[in-house]
A = this chain, B = another copy of it.
Amino acid sequence: MNTFGNILKLTSFGESHCPAIGGVIDGFPANIDIDVDFIQSELNRRRPGTSKLTTSRNEADAVEFLSGIFNGKSTGCPIGFIIRNNDAHSNDYSSIKDLFRPSHADYTYDQKYGIRDYRGGGRASARETAIRVVGGAMAKLLLKQIGVDINARISQVGNVVLNGTKEECDKQYSEIVSQVKAEGDSIGGIISCSIQNCPVGLGEPIYGKLHAALGFAMLSINAVKGFDYGMGFDGIGQKGSELNDVFYNEGDGIKTKTNNSGGIQGGISNGEEIYFRVAFKPVPTIMQDQETVDKEGNKVIFKAKGRHDPCVLQRALPVVESMAALVIADYYLLNKTNKI
């Protein structure tokens, strides 16, 4: 279950403190220009250490492509890549070896597998999302060829809705997160994502509805607790007569006057903007004493050490976009098979 996708498939491996994390992108169409600088720039958006608000762990996060690219183009063969874990301080984590951090995956991994790489959260670490960003950047290169554009933004932090110019939002975000950091606490929020110029017809009924695939993708991201699209949870108070999207003929094609459907009807894209929201919880690592139990069930006090983010939203933006890009690219390829 470390593979994502149907035709375009991303297989991921690696833990927080192993020699390298990496992945394999399979089913990537041949003859697409691979702009490695763009991929690295996407990785840089996700990188820790880019501001005082994120963890000070300073990975270079340099991706090394190993196969499937020839003369700057994809060959149709699987694209293997790795990112070395250069800056892993394994010693930082020995104190958590034998206890279960609250709201972390320590306990469940331990119970499930009977063994756990406890260093930095092991496989459950958000470090793995770097692999998604590489895969997503590749998917974006594919989607660029057909004009699809994907953009995510932080629309809410804690219970503060962000609006205004980008600069104003960034400022507001920084202020809130700085305050939370000072308290040794953490905070969540909402990322809103928009997909423009998605071709009509993507989505595979019944169990491959496009929004279900997007929801699955988003819910697989660390710390995500909810997903909705179109009118979502917020539209529940309205009636059918208020929410139905009326079709009209724009001359060059059929459009809808409103877009409460969020660009997807019956699980299939209708050509309008696809938009959805992703709810992130506050990350469980906080710089405060917390009660918990150790492996033997003894009560212990845990206080986090090391480098941690008070808020993951900023770094999660390219992850959300990447998972969306992987879904759209995959469904674009799938959709090629419904006619001969």
Contact = CB atoms under 8 A, between A and B. Distances in A.
Contacts of A189: 236
Interface string A13-43: 1110011111110110111100000000000
Interface string A174-207: 0000001001011111100000000011011111
A33 to B, nearest CB: 11
12 contacts: A3-B11, A3-B207, A19-B65, A27-B337, A100-B247, A209-B219, A228-B228, A233-B233, A236-B279, A244-B286, A247-B291, A254-B293
Interface stretch (A47-55, A163-171, A266-274, A314-322): A266-274
A92 B338 CA distance: 29
A64 B64 CA distance: 15
Given A2-B205, A215-B215, 4 more contacts: A105-B268, A216-B219, A225-B229, A246-B290
B340 A288 contact: no
Contacts of A26: 1-3, 11, 13
Interface of A: 1-4, 6-7, 9, 11-15, 18-24, 26-27, 29-32, 64-68, 70-71, 73-80, 82, 100, 102-105, 107-109, 111-117, 122-124, 128, 142, 145-146, 156, 158-159, 180, 183, 185-190, 200-201, 203-209, 211-213, 215-216, 219-220, 225-233, 235-241, 243-249, 254, 256, 260-262, 264-270, 279-286, 288, 290-293, 297-299, 332-340
Given A117-B75, A239-B187, A338 B230 contact: no
Contacts of A201: 108, 111-112
A29 B338 contact: yes
B123 A206 contact: yes
A94 B297 CA distance: 57
A66 B103 contact: no
A244 B284 contact: yes
Contacts of A24: 2, 11-13, 22-24
**Total identical chains:** 4
Contact of A82 (B82, B213, B233): B82
A241 B9 CA distance: 37
A180 B145 CA distance: 47
Nearest to A117: B70
Contacts of A114: 30-31, 339
Contacts of A29: 337-340
B231 A281 contact: yes
Given A77-B122, A215-B216, A102 B227 contact: no
A291 B186 CA distance: 49
Contacts of A260: 103, 281
B207 A1 contact: yes
Contacts of A212: 216, 219-220
